[in-house]
Amino acid sequence: MLNTLLDRWHLSFGSTAPEVVVRAPGRVNIIGEHTDYNEGWVLPGAMSRSIYLLVSRSKTGQHHWIAYDLDEEIQSTEEILEYGQYAWAKYIEGAIRLYAPELGPLHILIGGDLPVGAGISSSSALVCGILFALQHLNGKTESKESIALIGQRVEKEIIGVQGGIMDQFAIMMSQPHHVMLLDCRTREYKLVDADLPGCKWILINTRVKHALIDSDYNQRAAQCKQSVAIIQKSFPEVQALRDVTMDMLTAADLPEVLFRRSAFVVQEDDRVHQMVEALHHHDAQRAGALLKASHEGLRHMYEVSCDELDHLADFANAYKGVMGARMMGGGFGGCVICLISEDALEDFSIACVDAYLDRFGFEPEVIEFELSLGVDKVSTP
């Protein structure tokens, strides 16, 4: 892929090589869904599927940005400021404006094998990758953690996405074969070996994203805040759902819907810590059971699943050789993450695609990946 992008670079920008080439990976999350904005714990990691960003300061006095995979490009400041139909340009412009406006016009080429809209944080990968490239160009020396926090600011202040820090931390600071036990309140984290002998982590992309994700995601966050406000009347020390126990929930006399939402978050936080123990003891069966429990909670208690996700999770969880599977991400589409025996992978992939095609009329995408290094600078051939 990189050689293809270099060929396009020279075709568009001439014989001079890009000043910096950066690889920015997507993000998977083993477990810990909807816990980040409740100041809880998550267990994400960077994946081997990535985007590449080739960047140089412009010698023409004009910006020229190319999204290779989308076959879209922008060649003037006016186009960039207007954004038009190119949503990706807003992320790049926001990163430049917030972090390195002094650099002036840039030549940028982006492309890779990271699916867009699959819930694996392609937008955060783009932001973190461009920030890392800008850091190289302007000679600044912030830590990767500092760059991750700037990436979160770009998405909050420029894009308007009020997300947590999980995506940026995992994309910037992950290590191969490991996931990150991240405390979303303190930002403290430790690396956890996620390799399980004889098993593989895979994703199955539903290839759908239902429109209700934005409104329902915000509604769930609001319901969690409502729950905290009620619980605080009895337990004033509580600041977020990460501070709550099941006994507190029962005592607080929450409305039924708020109880279910809150109980899921409390139980999901506990499952994160149980998963760390399962990985430490190389207990694939226990890890799979936690994935199944997480999906049931997301489906029935938090109610953020959909028919396509439920079908894939149900099919996987009933298949011999699959330890467990659950929906991953905000919900209403995107991917299922699955822990599967290496011996069963090939047959399962065929059977899973066929069953989904029969049910919905189009194929899902089985995504094989490795847990990888976070954002890094790439040496060109």
Which residue is listed with tokens 């729950």? 227
What whole-number distance in Å separates Cα of residue 224 and Cα of residue 240? Answer: 8
| Catalytic annotation, residues | 167
Cβ 50 vs Cβ 23: under 8 Å: yes
What whole-number distance in Å separates Cα of residue 306 and Cα of residue 152? Answer: 28
Angle (nearest 5°) at CA 40 between 35 and 45:
75
Cβ 13 vs Cβ 120: under 8 Å: no
What whole-number distance in Å separates Cα of residue 110 and Cα of residue 122? Answer: 12
5-44: burial string, b at 16+ Cβ within 10 Å, e else: bbeebeeebeeeebebbbbbbbbbbbbbbbbbbbbbbbbb
C-alpha torsion 45→48→50→52, nearest 10: 120
The pair phi, psi for residue 187, each rounded to 5°, is 65, 15
